Structure formats: C-alpha cells, structure tokens
Amino acid sequence: MNLLKSAQTDDSLTSRGLLQINVVSIQNNFPITDATISIASKDNPDQVIEQVGTNSSGQTEQLSLPAPPLDYSFDPNGPVPYSEYVVSVQAPGFRPLTVSGTEVLPDATAIQPIRLTPESQPEEQSLITIPEHTLVGDYPPKIAESEIKPVNESGEIVLSRVVIPQTIVVHDGPPSNQSATNYYVPYRDYIKNVASSEIYSTWPRSTITANVLAIMSFTLNRVYTEWYRNQGYDFTITSSTAFDHKWIYDRNIFESISVVVDEIFDNYLSRPGVRQPILTQYCDGKRVRCPNWMTQWGSMSLGEQGYSPIEILRYFYGDSIYVNTAEQISGIPASWPGYDLTIGSSGSKVRQLQEQLDAIATVYSAIPGVTPDGIYGPATARSVREFQSIFGMPQTGVVDFATWYRISHIYVAVTGIAELS
C-alpha cells in the first residue's frame, strides 16, 4: 500500500530501485507470515511512504523506491549513489525491530533480511543502524600483509586442504577489541554482506565477479591458515577494514551480488606451487592508493571496458594468478552430482534433492511438496521453480550448481541438520 509517493523531496532521486524485505524468526529461521512493515526515508523517518505485509514465505513484494541516477554509482567523485531507508517491522508474538540505513541503488534489487526475536526470549536489538558504504564513508585503509603466509609466521597450518566452511566467526571490531561481539555467519552470507558493503551492485557483472573472487580468496586464506586462532583469538576474521573486510551486522544485500556468490562460492585464487588461497588485498583506488593490489574503482573501469573477471584480476595481481576450486564444501547433507538435474533425471541424487525440497516445503508452504521417488518429473520441476522464485534465483526449474547448494543451505537452516566434517 503506497501511502505517500512524494515523500522523497530530494530532486536528485530521479531513478527507481527495488527493495524486498525477508522476515524470519531468529530462533529457527522460519519465515514469519503477516508481519507489518513500514518504510520511510532516512531523511524523514517519521513519514511512512510504504506499508506492506509479508506472505507465507515471510517476504514482501518488491517495492519500487526513489533512488539517485545510475551514473552516480560509476563516478568515484560523484554524489552518494544510493538512497537510504528506515524499515520498521512488527509481527504478533515477536519483538519489533527497526533497521535504519537500508541502501537502495537504482536499477537494482536490494534484499533486507529481518530476524525477529520471539517475545518469550530476551530482547536482542530493537534498532539496527547500517553505517555508510565503504566507498562513501571514512574507513581505515588495509594494513599491508604478505599475500602468502609462511608457516612459521602464523603458526602451524592446521588444514591440509582448502575447505569451504559452513560458517565463519566474525569479530565485529579490530582484533584487540575484547568487548566486540563474535557472530557466527554462514560463509556465503558473509561474502554477500561484504561485497554489498564494499562495491556497487550496479557495476558490470565481470567487476562484481572479480571482487567476489578476491573477497573469497582473502577469507579462505584466513580460514586455511587459522590466522587469528594461531594468535590466541577465538574468531576467523574481523569486520575492521584495517585488518580484513567490512562486514555489517544484518545489512541489506543486493540480488545481483547474491547470484554471483551462489554460482562461484567454492572458488578462490591461487598461484602456481602455492597450496593456500592467496590473501588478495585491495583498496578503493580513490581515497587510498595500493600498488600491486586491486582497486575497486579501477576494477569497475576495466569491467566497463569489457575485461573478463580473470583479466581484471591479472591486471592488478599479475598473470600468474588463476581461479581454483575448493576440494570440499562442509556443512551440507550431500554434494552436487557434477551435472544439472532436470526433467528426465533419476537416481539417488534426485531423491536427495526431493527429500530436501519436501522438508523445506513444510516451512515455506508456497513450495509444492514432492514425493521422494528419485524421478525428476514436472512436479519436482515446479517445486524447484518456486524455490528459485522465493530465493531470488533464475527460475529455470533446473537444479544447477547454484540451486543445489542454495537448497542445501536453506534445508540446513530450517532443519538444523548438517554434515559433521
């Protein structure tokens, strides 16, 4: 229900962006139906411009909201390229929550996750404030490190191979801040959050892919080398830009970034003869200069010129860098078969898929239930297509790599079942 179309009075907001809010219970990740959501401009938080409810999947419709011109996000010296909104959520049986600073970019779909606390539990937070994007705000520059960690520098390397973790522990502050909270974050969600905090989803897909690869390789180096744990800390990585990446608690992500991460989340960057993922450091290239590292604005320019992701990465990191694939993905019930599942497919992998979809359908009632018979027929394709629609994926009805692992991710989230490895 649109209450006031003209609430955005800034003449610069001449474009539109989309915003969808996804509401779940913080207790079990179940979607919350019939939540009431009010949206206001951050500049005028008392003036509600949209009020909507959630469906059986805990989601709102995609709302079209004013945003600055698209050109702003391609100009390193231009105005702030996104508009900011206040999202207030209420639902029966849950504590209300407000998120201030949800970012909406033009011609892009923003997804704001909302996790409500049941009234029976102690209150977590009633207000979440999203700080400025790193390309806009004043954040400390990365302290340079060696891109390859010698064993004797960080202690004995525990892992013998590169494994995609189910979750990582994010220390929300610099390493020395003992009062900062540690958050357990699913790996893919962490990558989507960081990329949405550090680059713009309006940039070319090749630029997004190159930056996501750099973020993942850096993160997996921290995992592989047990960098912080070998220094006596109890976390995997920090949210400080001086040491690691900018991760922001419960910020919105962007659909175009989410799709890229789902497609390549098992990749990282390597050099010949080096087992560990490369610690690919970078900077914005405007406020901070960083020779031999990738610059975010520079990667945007190369993407605009038609460079591929690997060409962008080699432009900055040298010709020896290449994309590698992790040997194992942890925390999943079953691995992808290595080929797409579609109508006519059959066997144990189809049955595993159907069992997971059927379990998800008990929580997300819009997804048709399926009989786990091991035969991929029209009913399974319909269930897959609805899953893809709900979770912002291309609606093909075909289970490719990205869909298989997204189904596994949601299955683990709603059932609490994970492979112990």
Alpha-carbon distance values, 129 to 100, 125, 205, 288, 331 (Å): 5, 10, 29, 26, 31
| Alpha carbon distance, N-terminus to C-terminus of the chain | 48
Q: Which domains does the chain have, with CATH numbers?
A: 15-129 (2.60.40.1120), 151-328 (no CATH), 331-415 (1.10.101.10)
pLDDT at 418: 44
β-bridge partners, 397 = none
Q: Which residue matches tokens 């009010």?
A: 38
Spatial separation of the C-alpha atoms in residues 26 and 324, rounded to whole Å: 35
Residues in contact with 145: Cβ distance below 8 Å, sequence separation at least 6, in sequence order: 279, 281
180-203 pLDDT, tens digit each: 999 999 999 999 999 999 999 999
269-320 pLDDT, tens digit each: 999 999 999 999 999 999 999 999 999 999 999 999 999 999 999 999 999 9
Query: What is the CB neighbour count within 10 angstroms for residue 306?
Result: 9
pTM, two decimals, is 0.93
Spatial separation of the C-alpha atoms in residues 113 and 20, rounded to whole Å: 9
pLDDT at 125: 82
Spatial separation of the C-alpha atoms in residues 278 and 322, rounded to whole Å: 10
Residues in contact with 7: Cβ distance below 8 Å, sequence separation at least 6, in sequence order: 40, 41, 44, 47, 49
Low-confidence ranges of the chain (pLDDT < 70): 1-11, 151-159, 417-421
Spatial separation of the C-alpha atoms in residues 217 and 243, rounded to whole Å: 15
pLDDT at 152: 52
